[in-house]
Amino acid sequence: MKGTAIAADSTILTAAEAESAMDRMFEVRCAAEDVATAVTEGADPAEIAELCAALVRLARDAERLR
């Protein structure tokens, strides 16, 4: 951004966009914790596979900036 102290390769988010990104990261952490809990508790492979699929879906969604 010419004429400012902001680096040219910076990404600027609105407060709402930043909050949304944080919400998506929280969802990813919760999903990862669900997978860890299921593994620790000896859940069956089908349940773990389902939780992993949800985790991957949330992670893909979280990596996009809107």
Length of the chain: 66
SS3 54: helix
Read off the pTM: 0.81
Q: What is the dihedral of CA 24, 29, 31, 32, to 10 degrees?
A: 140
Report the alpha-carbon distance of residue 43 to residue 36 in Å, rounded: 10
User: pLDDT class for 8, splitting at 50, 70, 90?
Assistant: confident
Do residues 45 and 15 make contact, with C-beta atoms less than 8 angstroms apart? no
Report the alpha-carbon distance of residue 11 to residue 50 in Å, rounded: 34
Q: What is the pLDDT of residues 53-65, one digit of tens each?
A: 999 999 999 988 7
